[in-house]
Amino acid sequence: MDLALLLKTIVIGIVEGVTEFLPVSSTGHILLAEEVLHFEGPQGKVFEIVIQAGAILAVCLLYWRKILATVGGVMRREPTSIRFATAVIVAFLPAAVIGVLLHKYIKMMLDTPMVVPIAFIVGGIAILVIEHYAQRPRIKSVDEIDWKTALFIGFCQCLAMIPGVSRSGATIMGARVFRVDRATSAEFSFFLAIPTMLGATVYDLYKNWKTLDWQGGGLIAIGFVVAFLSALVVVKPFLRFVSRHGFGVFAWYRIAVGALALVFLVMR
């Protein structure tokens, strides 16, 4: 592995870790970064999927107490823990089913960079509209999310199968529509990411295992670790920021980056 490829991998790992939990689309940023850097990863776009598990591991570490408390509470049949666990599972199911059924078509979209800037712009506008018309929150804790709200969030998550839509953005805005407050919407999106992205990682490795060589495996390992470390830095400050300032800045960022990327892809 040469130095240039190593540096490109590190940059893309940082991009993934920083953007995974922001409503700006980590996959969209990775694809645009790869276009700009002329990065060639392993076949089948497995690199782009698997390194996201590094960011998810960061959430598991940061919220390990809540995760263990939920597991223990479910085993003791505590209503609050069962309610929360049920909400996460229900929200996960739509993406699990649709992701398997449409896996081939999702991968095809990853090879179409022009989809990303359009999704960036449309998603930014959607965030502005939802934030403007959002009603007073009725849910202020992840433990209060009911299965109907969770199911709606789960179907919103499926929109993120389009590169550039943003998994966190779709789930957070879906929660906001159902009157979940900003910080709780973001936190539930974090927890929902755990089964969603781990499932996608396992399934993608299963599908592409035979195509990986030592260099491809090395790139994935480096990207995974860098994404993990950079996500550790981002999650808590992001929660504090959105609690105070909302998501508007991310919407305008999406629109600006989407417009610039559109110009870049047209003129290259």
Q: Rounded distance, CA 129 to CA 64, Å?
A: 34
Q: Rounded distance, CA 102 to CA 192, Å?
A: 20
Q: Rounded distance, CA 187 to CA 166, Å?
A: 15
Total number of domains constituting the chain: 1
| pLDDT at residue 214, as a whole number | 80
pLDDT in tens, 89-113: 999 999 989 887 876 777 677 667 7
Chunked mean pLDDT (size 10), the chain, 268 residues: 87 94 90 86 76 92 95 96 97 90 72 85 96 92 96 94 90 96 95 90 79 80 95 93 92 95 85
Q: Rounded distance, CA 263 to CA 259, Å?
A: 6
Q: Rounded distance, CA 188 to CA 38, Å?
A: 35
Amino acid, res. 144: E
| pLDDT at residue 107, as a whole number | 65
**Tokens, residue 130:** 């939802």
Residue identified by tokens 């920021």 is: 241
Supply φ then ψ for residue 139, to 5 degrees: -120, 120
Q: Find how far residue 118's CA is from the centre of its chain.
A: 18
Q: Rounded distance, CA 35 to CA 29, Å?
A: 10
In which domain, by residue range, is 127 found? 3-267
Residue identified by tokens 């223990």 is: 72
| pLDDT at residue 44, as a whole number | 60
| pLDDT at residue 210, as a whole number | 73
**Tokens, residue 101:** 């059924």
